[in-house]
Copies of this chain bind each other. A is one copy, B any other.
Amino acid sequence: MALFAKEEYLERLDKTKRRMADAGIDVLVVSDPANMNYLTGYDGWSFYVPQCVVVGLDADTPMWIGRRMDVAGARHTTFLPLSHIIGYPENYIQTRARHPMNVVGDVIKEHGWGAGTVGVEMDAYYFSARAYAELQKNLPDARFADADLLVNWIRLVKSDAEIALMREAGQIANKVMATAIARLEPGVRECDAVAGVYQAQMSGTREFGGDYPAIVPMMPTGEKTSAPHLTWTDAPYRSEQMVNLELAACRHRYHCPIARTAYLGKNPPAKLVKLAEHTVEGLDLTLAAVKPGMRAEAVERVWRRHIADVGLEKESRIGYAMGLNYPPDWGEHTASLRPGDETVLAPNMTFHMILGMWMDDYGFECSESFRVTEDGHECFANFPRTLFIKE
Chain B residues closer than 8 Å to A199, beta-carbon distance: 195-196, 198-199
Q: Is A12 an interface residue (CB 8 A)?
A: no
Residues of B within 8 A of A209 (CB): 189-192, 232-234
| A168-212 vs B, Cβ < 8 Å mask (1 yes, 0 no) | 000000000000000000000111101110111111100011111
Copies per complex of this chain = 2
**Bound state CA distance, A229 and B44, in angstroms?**
5
Q: Is the CB of B69 within 8 A of A230?
A: no
Q: Which residues of B contact A75 (CB under 8 A)?
A: 227
| Tally of chain A residues near chain B (CB < 8 A) | 72
* Cβ–Cβ < 8 Å partners of A328 in chain B: 45, 47-48, 126, 327
Across the interface, which residues of B come within 8 angstroms of A218, CB to CB?
45
Inter-subunit contact B44/A227 (CB<8 Å): yes
- CB contacts (< 8 Å) of A198 on chain B: these are 195, 198-199, 201-202
Bound-complex Cα distance A333 to B93 (A): 9
Q: Which residues A301-341 have CB closer than 8 A to chain B?
A: 315-317, 327-329, 331, 333, 336
CA distance A201 to B196 in the complex (A): 11
Candidate in A133, A191, A328 with the most chain B CB atoms within 10 angstroms: A328
Q: Is the CB–CB distance between A131 and B125 below 8 Å?
A: no
Chain B residue with the shortest CB-CB distance to A46 = B229
Chain B neighbourhood of A72, CB < 8 A: 226-227
Q: Contact: B192 with A224, CB < 8 Å?
A: no
Q: Is A90's beta carbon under 8 Å from chain B?
A: yes
A128 at the interface (CB under 8 A from B): yes
Evaluate contact between A333 and B44: CB separation under 8 angstroms.
no
Cross-interface CB contact of A130 among B45, B122, B190, B196, cutoff 8 Å: B122
Decide if B208 touches A234 in the complex (CB within 8 Å). Answer: yes
Question: In the docked arrangement, what's the CA distance between A47 and B94, Å?
Answer: 21
Q: How far is the CA of A326 from the CA of B230 in the complex (A)?
A: 13
A267: Cβ under 8 A from any B Cβ = no
Residue of B nearest to A253 (CB): B231
Complex Cα distance, B133 from A46, in Å, reads: 26
Kindly state whether residue A259 has any CB partner on chain B within 8 Å. no
Alpha-carbon separation in the docked complex, A228 to B226 (Å): 40
Please name all residues of chain B whose beta carbon is closer than 8 Å to the beta carbon of A204 when the two chains form the complex: 191, 234
Q: How far does the alpha carbon of A34 sit from the alpha carbon of B203 in the complex, in Å?
A: 30
Q: Tell me, yes or no, whether A23 is within 8 Å of chain B by CB.
A: no
B203 close to A191 (CB less than 8 A): yes
Residue A132 lies at the interface, judged by CB distance under 8 Å to chain B: yes
8 A Cβ contacts from A86-142 to B: 90, 94, 99, 120, 122-133
* Complex: chain B residue closest to A235, CB-CB: B209
Once the chains bind, are A73 and B124 in contact (CB under 8 Å)?
Answer: no
Report whether A194 and B189 are in contact in the complex, using a CB–CB cutoff of 8 Å: no
Q: Does A70 contact B (CB under 8 A)?
A: yes
| A76 on interface, CB distance cutoff 8 Å | yes
Q: Flag whether A77 is at the interface (Cβ < 8 A).
A: yes
CB of A281 closer than 8 Å to a CB of B: no
- Check if A43 is an interface residue, CB within 8 A of chain B: yes
Determine if B130 and A128 form an interchain contact, defined as CB atoms under 8 angstroms apart: no
Residue from A129, A191, A226 with most neighbouring chain B CB atoms (10 Å): A129
A-B CB proximity, top 5 nearest: A191-B209, A129-B132, A198-B198, A195-B202, A122-B130
Could you jot down 12 A-B contacts, CB within 8 Å? A70-B227, A76-B227, A77-B230, A90-B317, A125-B128, A127-B128, A129-B132, A192-B209, A195-B199, A196-B199, A209-B233, A211-B231
Further contacts, 17 of them, CB under 8 A, given A44-B227, A45-B215, A195-B198? A43-B231, A44-B229, A44-B230, A90-B317, A94-B336, A123-B128, A123-B129, A124-B128, A126-B328, A127-B128, A128-B128, A129-B131, A191-B203, A191-B210, A194-B202, A196-B199, A209-B232
